[in-house]
A and B are shown apart, each in its own frame.
Chain A
């Protein structure tokens, strides 16, 4: 059976798996953003925390993904459902680019601008959301973009622990030694990664501050 006719025959299933994939990536990115951006901000305020936080995120990044899924298996509540487990693991992987880019983005704001803002009597909170975050937005978004692209690829491995997604087709194709089935999972996943990259790239350009002075 050719690739295209396989797609046509199984379009409902492939669409379902794609949605599952998107759901995993979307939810995990949301969690990673919710944890990573505050952590990134925190380490700009408490320089002593910078090293330990970045080191921890780095270590998580170096754990092979299959092993990380395995490590999390015994965790209460999380381990009960493969989907939860996959989302947590993906969120952990996405943490590093988010923390690092938030930190770099805020630290990259022109020192004179920050000093002028402080001197004018902006509170820490006003400095953060009126000056630092808007000026760091495009760098932070670049981190989200990297995280999403990594997640789309990693999420295929989540099928190994039964979390579903497009990885299911890839693993099935591997078992059947059938390239068509592998491609039916791999091609939509690759397209998803590309699309996310392009769309977030556009958003990033739109958010970039006017040429810095």
Chain B
């Protein structure tokens, strides 16, 4: 592979072949994977020499089947897992140099299982980090109502407990909680994966609308090509711990890479089968 970038690093020295957005050359990289590897304690590799950049304001989707290493790649950013090789730069600084707690509060995190605190009301769930950060009470309350509105939740939800919510509402609360302290970066691990198709498509659409307003830097994990095409500024395809391709929507659909083709074809077949005309 390409090895580590030459140091010291000032003007963008990312290794050749690293996946970067091609639209504008002055894009500001917020997350940079540099030759990142991760292996399990028994030395089984999960992720190998990943080079990838996520620029300010874009949604990069990590696409791949289960076991492809996409969730691992995500967790390396907020250091729920520590990379065993290479480094990840967050806003130009190596993730290891960040204070762990500061880093995590700088990076919102939403997961499929949501993981709401069952003993807290929705309001306390959402405002936990601002409260820990000692925001003044009025500011927390203002932020709370802002977030409820932003995520399409009624104010009456605030006093409920997670078990009193529907799956879609829970996921909205999860997103609101991830956004609570207004982190510039958002990590999302199949946040809409466990929802019914209608609710999922509602939330996907709303999330796009939200992103138009907020312009967060988003790294989004999914195994669903439809979701990837809908949300992703760019799509990074992972297979067995390796980055296979990283393309914009159009490039992805037009790519000649065999694995990408397989994905696109499987997707096209499922579309054809689901429309009445598609059945012979």
A residues in contact (CB < 8 Å) with B: 110, 112-123, 126, 130-131, 134-135, 209-213
Contact = CB atoms under 8 A, between A and B. Distances in A.
B162 A120 contact: no
Instruction: Assign chain B's interface to a size class.
Output: 20 to 34
B104 A121 contact: yes
Interface in B157-176: 161-163, 170, 174
A123 B132 CA distance: 10
Contacts of A112: 111, 113-115
Contacts of B103: 121
Q: Which 3 A-B pairs have the closest CB atoms?
A: A116-B115, A121-B104, A112-B113
Contacts of A130: 117, 128
A135 to B, nearest CB: 6
A119 B115 CA distance: 10
B15 to A, nearest CB: 28
Interface string B50-86: 0000000000000000000000000000101000000
Contacts of B177: 116, 120
Contact of A135 (B102, B119, B170): B119
A126 B118 contact: no
A119 B163 contact: no
A126 B141 CA distance: 22
Contact of B117 (A115, A117, A119, A211): A117
Contacts of A115: 80, 111, 115
Contacts of B225: none
B101 interface: yes
A50 B132 CA distance: 31
B150 interface: no
A118 B80 contact: yes
Nearest to A126: B132
B119 A119 contact: no
Nearest to A119: B109
Interface string B84-111: 0000000000000000011111000101
A130 B103 CA distance: 20
A211 to B, nearest CB: 4
B221 to A, nearest CB: 13
30 contacts: A110-B113, A112-B113, A112-B115, A115-B80, A116-B114, A118-B80, A118-B104, A119-B104, A119-B111, A120-B109, A120-B129, A121-B101, A121-B102, A121-B104, A121-B129, A122-B132, A126-B132, A130-B117, A135-B118, A135-B119, A209-B119, A210-B118, A210-B119, A210-B162, A211-B163, A212-B118, A212-B163, A213-B162, A213-B163, A213-B170
Interface of B: 78, 80, 101-105, 109, 111, 113-119, 128-129, 132, 161-163, 170, 174, 177-178, 187
Given A131-B117, A212-B118, A213-B118, A121 B105 contact: yes
Contact of B119 (A114, A116, A121, A134): A134
Contacts of B117: 113, 117, 130-131, 135
B107 to A, nearest CB: 8
Contacts of B170: 213
Chain B CB count within 10 A is highest, among A114, A117, A126, A210, for A210
Contacts of B113: 110, 112, 116
A80 B147 CA distance: 65
B104 A120 contact: yes
Contacts of A131: 117
A130 B124 CA distance: 11
B42 to A, nearest CB: 17
A113 B163 contact: no
A141 B244 CA distance: 52
A113 B119 CA distance: 11
A113 B118 contact: yes
A59 B276 CA distance: 70
Given A112-B115, A210-B162, 13 more contacts: A112-B114, A113-B116, A119-B78, A119-B187, A120-B104, A121-B101, A121-B102, A121-B103, A121-B105, A121-B129, A210-B161, A213-B114, A213-B170
Given A115-B80, A116-B114, A212-B163, A123 B101 contact: yes
A131 B178 CA distance: 17
Contacts of A126: 132
Contacts of B174: 116
A135 B161 CA distance: 14
Nearest to A110: B115
Contacts of B119: 134-135, 209-210
